[in-house]
Amino acid sequence: MMNDCERIGLRLDDYLGGMLSAGARAEVERHLETCSACARDAETLRRLLADARALPRSIAPPRDLWYAIDARLGEQAPARPGVRFIRVRPRLLAAAAVVLVAVTAALTMQLARRPIQAPLAAGPAAAPRYAAVAADYAAAVRELEARFVHSYDRLPPETRAVVSRNLAVIDTAIAEARAALAAAGPNPDLETLLWTSYRAKLDLLGRATKL
């Protein structure tokens, strides 16, 4: 059984993000008035969030570098049926790792948490944020699709079928959510559903390229 501090601690993130209902918000505020430890935690978290907001919105890897690395990796590893591991120069591998970390970190920070924390009511900044996040997702999907094309032939036919079938379902869901958003305008709940489908696509493409 959690005590009050543990329970409030779980809600601090949502509280500071303005995502709690009025009743829940009042409950948190009442607790913070009487608990100095939780109040300190809240203040620390508030400062962290403020600092995070001051960071660049995304860390975009130079596109030329990404494709150049991809192409050079391809040159280093001519296709050999059945051989999955390739030998590349350490420096090249390090560069690829840096780009991968940057992309993953940016996506994780900018995208992954947003659907969970999306407010139930649309705010004035919803439309620009939607456009920015949609652009981030679309770009990430394009990156992974390009990589997936390279690995597609290596996959067993049954795996290709599974991946293709699931990608088709995701694409339909994305199209439906986008169409609804186009008709309805900014809508955080629809956006959340759209981000979930985008995340599913990124995840599936990512896994398929690693097989």
**From residue 181, how far is each of 80, 188, 193 by CA, in Å?**
45, 10, 11
First to last CA, the chain: 42
Find the shortest distance in angstroms from Cβ 63 to other proteins.
28
Q: Which is nearer to other proteins, 52 or 85 (CB)?
A: 85
**What is the rounded distance in angstroms from the CA atom of residue 205 to the CA atom of residue 211?**
10
Find the shortest distance in angstroms from Cβ 32 to other proteins.
16
**What is the rounded distance in angstroms from the CA atom of residue 9 to the CA atom of residue 140?**
33
**What is the rounded distance in angstroms from the CA atom of residue 167 to the CA atom of residue 100?**
22
Give the interface with other proteins as residue ranges (CB under 8 A).
1-2, 6-7, 10, 21, 23-24, 81-82, 116, 120, 122, 158-159, 162-163, 165-166, 169-170, 173, 176-177, 180, 183-185, 187, 189-190, 192-193, 196-197, 199-200, 203-204, 207-208, 211
Q: Which is nearer to other proteins, 104 or 196 (CB)?
A: 196
Q: Which is nearer to other proteins, 98 or 120 (CB)?
A: 120
Find the shortest distance in angstroms from Cβ 144 to other proteins.
14
